[in-house]
Amino acid sequence: MLVNKEKEIIRYVKEFLGGEEESFDSLIRLIASDVVNIAYYYVGNTEDAKDLAQDVFIKLYNKLKGFRGQAAVSSWIYRIVANSSIDFLRRRKKTVTLNEDVTEDTQAESDIRGKMERKDTKEFVQRAIDKLPSRQKEVIILKHFEGLKITQISKILGCSESSVKTHLFRGLENLKKIIGGEDAVFI
Amino acid sequence: MQCLSKDDLILFYYGETSRERGEEIGNHLKECSRCFKLYEETKGFLSLLKRERKEMSSFEIESIIRTVRELIEESSNSGLRKRLGRVFERVFPRFTLRLRLVSVVAAIIICLLFFPVFINKKYNNTSALKNKWDILQIEMELSLDDEDASTFDVYYNFDGWDINSSKSNFPRVNFSHISSHIIKISA
């Protein structure tokens, strides 16, 4: 978890801002697995998660020089991962829509493939998470998968604790409905 | 105590309740089978969502670092390209991007076309000098000091030892012989 590595992250960031370029590589070594795992919850596959992690590190490199330490670095990294993931999903959604138009004829084949994939529970759960509205998804990723406290999530997302709780309850309810085969009501 | 809501149970599962509230819920679950069953269901559903964390191998992390470094370098180079573009824009303000590219390519082609001509001219000059090598040779020899010149004279136009004018054993030069010899060669 990124929050548990806060002290080490701050040390590398300070070294990097002091001119030690290699410290950025050390920072990547420290948090790469965390960033890829969080990215995975958003995008649903390892390859895309790795690509996304690379984007995140480039953004981090460019933005670190302007970082003034007004917030915890780990919270800031979570924010960058979340924003990058949402952008990535938007881009992918466009691509998928185009691909769907092209592959209309192979719909039956993809249905069969879809059923086969659904046998894998993890894949199915991931697909269910993908269907959630972005805010509910963000809260569930940070709370359920990353194990952050509600107070930390509210700081990362810039909203109140009660709002985080509401998104969490609704998100879990919707997930239950999707996995249970009912139509989710996105409220 | 009243029966627990789903939201209470979710917060209790995540350890997001206060200590007092947590104790109350724990005691209630021991007493109320209905709430206990609901809690077990909630726990089962939330554990279904759990996913094992994927740790990246050092090879994967190093590969990410390499790619990130390459992309950072690339982006800094593109910054240089932009700066060069701005300089070019100042020099040729009316040129469009395509026109600028065309002019640069044309300049390169012209340079390549004329390169052999320049080279050839250079070599022609050398051959012209070679043709007049004999004159050059004489000019060089004239610039030599007395003793070297005397060697020349002895070699080309030795008339005999001039014992009176020489304090050394080396033959002395009679420059009138050399000048007459130069005139002959030049003719």
**Three-state SS letters, B102-116:** HHHHHHHHHHHHHHH
What does the pLDDT profile of chain A (187 residues) look like in tens digits?
777 888 888 888 888 888 888 888 999 999 999 999 989 888 888 888 899 999 999 988 888 877 776 677 888 888 888 888 888 888 776 655 444 444 444 454 455 455 445 556 677 788 888 888 888 998 998 998 888 899 989 988 888 999 999 999 999 999 888 887 654 444 4
In angstroms, rounded to a whole number, what is the distance separating the alpha carbons of residues A176 and B107? 68
Q: Helix A161-179 and helix A121-130: axis angle, to 10°?
A: 130
How many CB pairs (< 8 A) connect A and B? 65
Judge whether B55 is closer than 8 Å to chain A, CB to CB: yes
B49 and A144 in contact by Cβ < 8 A? yes
Length of chain A: 187
pLDDT number for residue A147: 86
Q: Does domain A107-182 have CATH number 1.10.10.10?
A: yes
Chain B environment of A122 (Cβ under 8 Å): 51
B91-131 per-position pLDDT tens digit: 666 666 667 778 788 889 988 888 877 777 666 665 555 56
| Closest alpha carbon within chain B to A126 | B49
CB nearest to A50's CB, from B10, B53, B64: B64
Chain A environment of B69 (Cβ under 8 Å): 25
Chain B environment of A143 (Cβ under 8 Å): 14
Contact A145, A41 (CB under 8 A): yes
| Closest alpha carbon within chain A to B68 | A54
Section B24-37 average pLDDT = 90
pLDDT number for residue A104: 44
Contact B174, B156 (CB under 8 A): no
Where along chain A do its domains lie?
Answer: 1-102, 107-182
Judge whether A33 is closer than 8 Å to chain B, CB to CB: yes
B75 and A179 in contact by Cβ < 8 A? no
pLDDT number for residue B146: 55
In angstroms, rounded to a whole number, what is the distance separating the alpha carbons of residues A65 and A62? 7
Q: Reduced to 3 states, what is the DSSP secondary structure of residue A57? A: helix
Section B80-100 average pLDDT = 64
pLDDT number for residue A109: 46
ipTM here: 0.73
Specify burial of residue A16 (Cβ count, 10 A radius: 0-12, 13-18, 19+): buried
pLDDT number for residue A178: 85
Q: Does domain A1-102 have CATH number 1.10.1040.10?
A: no
Higher pLDDT, B52 or A41: A41
| Phi, psi (deg, nearest 5) at residue A95 | -65, -45
Judge whether A95 is closer than 8 Å to chain B, CB to CB: no
Who contacts B128 (Cβ-Cβ below 8 Å, separation ≥6)? none
In angstroms, rounded to a whole number, what is the distance separating the alpha carbons of residues A172 and B98? 55
State the pLDDT confidence band at B175, using cuts at 50, 70 and 90.
low
Q: What rounded mean pLDDT belongs to chain B?
A: 73
In angstroms, rounded to a whole number, what is the distance separating the alpha carbons of residues A42 and A91? 13
How far, in Å, are A135, B14, B33, B36 from residue B30 at the CA level?
A: 35, 18, 7, 7
How far, in Å, are A84, B126, B145, B148, B185 from residue B140 at the CA level?
A: 78, 17, 11, 11, 14
Chain A environment of B14 (Cβ under 8 Å): 143
Per DSSP, A19 falls in state T
Judge whether B84 is closer than 8 Å to chain A, CB to CB: no
Note the Cα B119 to chain centre separation in Å: 28
pTM, rounded to two decimals:
0.60
Chain A environment of B64 (Cβ under 8 Å): 28, 32, 50, 53-54, 57
pLDDT number for residue B89: 62
pLDDT number for residue B125: 60
